[in-house]
């Protein structure tokens, strides 16, 4: 199986998949609902403020980070991250 990866596409066996953007807007809304700040969540989970900064720019983070957040907030992944639709 041949795989090549660029910033915006993944080609696997002649199938091309475009990367989709993600958003952490559901997380920021959840924090408002539970009256918790990013700093408080960082302190409770041990997630670095650098990682939260990356998330503030809708950057990719490890699934372990999402898992820690879901455990702390007692929620599902859809309450933390969403995948934005692609525009052709």
State pLDDT tens for residues 30-59: 999 999 999 999 999 999 999 999 999 999
CA 15 to chain CA centroid, nearest Å: 25
The domain 20-83 having CATH identifier 1.10.260.40: the answer here is yes
**Contact by Cβ (8 Å): 81, 22:** yes
What average pLDDT does the segment 16-27 reach? 85
Whole-model pTM over 0.85: no
Q: Report the SS3 class of residue 17.
A: strand
CA pair distance 45, 50, nearest whole angstrom:
13
Mean pLDDT computed over every residue of the chain: 86
- Kindly list the domain boundaries of the chain, sorted by start residue: 20-83
Q: Using the CB atoms, write b or e for 15-33: b if 16+ within 10 Å.
A: eeeeeeeeebebbeebbee
């Amino acid at each position: 199986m041949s795989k090549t990866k660029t910033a915006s596409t993944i080609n696997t066996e002649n199938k091309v998949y475009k990367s989709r953007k993600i958003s952490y807007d559901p997380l920021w809304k959840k924090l408002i609902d539970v009256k918790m700040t990013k700093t408080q969540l960082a302190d409770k989970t041990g997630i670095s403020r650098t990682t939260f900064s990356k998330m503030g720019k809708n950057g990719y983070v490890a699934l372990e980070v999402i898992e820690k957040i879901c455990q702390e907030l007692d929620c599902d992944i859809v309450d933390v991250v969403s995948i934005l639709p692609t525009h052709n």
